[in-house]
Amino acid sequence: MYDILVVNKNYDAEGPDSISVRIGDLVEVLDMGDSPLNAAKKPKLDPQLNIGQSEDRLDSSASRHKLAVKPKKNHQSSSHRRSVSPQPPYQPKPNEKWKVRIFDGDDNAKAGWIPVSVLDINHTEQAVFGEKSNDASYRREAVVRELVETEEEFAKDLQQVVDNYLKYIDNKDNKVPRVVRDHKDDIFNNFKQIADFHNTVLIEGVKYYANNPKMIGKTFLRLERDFDKHVKYCRDAPVAQEFLASNDEIRDFFM
């Protein structure tokens, strides 16, 4: 299984062989290029076997003999292993790039080269090699981070509509067609309520439990009835769109 890492910096593709990634993306490391870690991850073959170095294949009897006479390895005692100092943090070379694939469970996911500097390797071999016992928590952290960032961006977009349209229409100093002011609620419905909900309630609940992912679901359960606002908006949206399409003055105002 390939190593799974989290992207900690945005990166835009610079050529056909690279891909764009965003903060919080999970990626699988496919190729470390010329990195010395590539050699470190490859299993070392027993020199006594000389596999792949002889032009003549060994017959089965010779192979069995090689395995039979293979010298035993002298393993260090557990007490000695514990006394060995940890490996120094891995320092990527300048402009070093690894080939990665965006981790989303899709076999056809995009793959390409990105700078190692945008990957959260924590400067430890455990992070580079993907210590599997930590993979679950690592993924949860990335998912929660993406959830918070996505909700913040969505709330910001909603608020921009409120500021640029609803507040503008409500300001009597602005030149707004009378028909637009009279039918503002028909056009926007309960949009402002939804924007307020995302900007002041939901985002705070998600952030509150960001360090305890198992509790995030409680935020949505507790606010279950508040999502009725979205149901109402989606239900009435076709009527608002039809109203806009049939009124040239209103449509021209929003163009």
pLDDT in tens, 197-253: 999 899 988 888 888 877 888 888 889 999 999 999 999 999 999 999 899 999 889
Residue 73 has pLDDT above 80, yes or no: no
For residue 143 the two structure tokens come to: 């998912």
Are the beta carbons of 23 and 7 closer than 8 angstroms? Answer: yes
Rounded to a whole number, what is the distance in angstroms from the first to the last CA of the chain? 52
pLDDT at 74: 46
Q: How far apart are CA 247 and CA 239, in angstroms?
A: 13
For residue 102 the two structure tokens come to: 């965006």
* Of 143, 128, 159, 112, nearest in space to 216 by CA: 143
Residue 119 banded pLDDT, cuts 50, 70, 90: confident
CB neighbour list of residue 173: distance below 8 Å, 6 or more residues apart = none
The bridge status of strand 4-6 relative to strand 111-115 is unpaired
User: pTM for the whole thing?
Assistant: 0.49
Residue 181 has pLDDT above 90, yes or no: yes
pLDDT at 236: 93
In 77-133, at which residue ranges do the beta strands (DSSP E only) sit?
A: 97-102, 111-115
List the domains of the chain with CATH numbers.
1-39+89-133 (2.30.30.40), 136-254 (1.20.900.10)
CB neighbour list of residue 140: distance below 8 Å, 6 or more residues apart = 213
Q: How far apart are CA 182 and CA 177, in angstroms?
A: 9
- Return the minimum-mean-pLDDT range out of 120-124, 135-139, 213-217: 120-124
The residue ranking higher by pLDDT, 1 or 232, is: 232
The residue ranking higher by pLDDT, 217 or 140, is: 217
Residue 94 banded pLDDT, cuts 50, 70, 90: confident
Residue 41 banded pLDDT, cuts 50, 70, 90: low
* Dihedral pair phi/psi, residue 98, rounded to 5°: -120, 150
Residue 121 has pLDDT above 60, yes or no: yes
Q: What is the mean pLDDT of residues 51-77?
A: 41
Q: Average pLDDT of the chain?
A: 75
pLDDT at 34: 75
Are the beta carbons of 130 and 31 closer than 8 angstroms? Answer: no
pLDDT at 5: 78
Q: How far apart are CA 4 and CA 131, in angstroms?
A: 9
The residue ranking higher by pLDDT, 134 or 238, is: 238
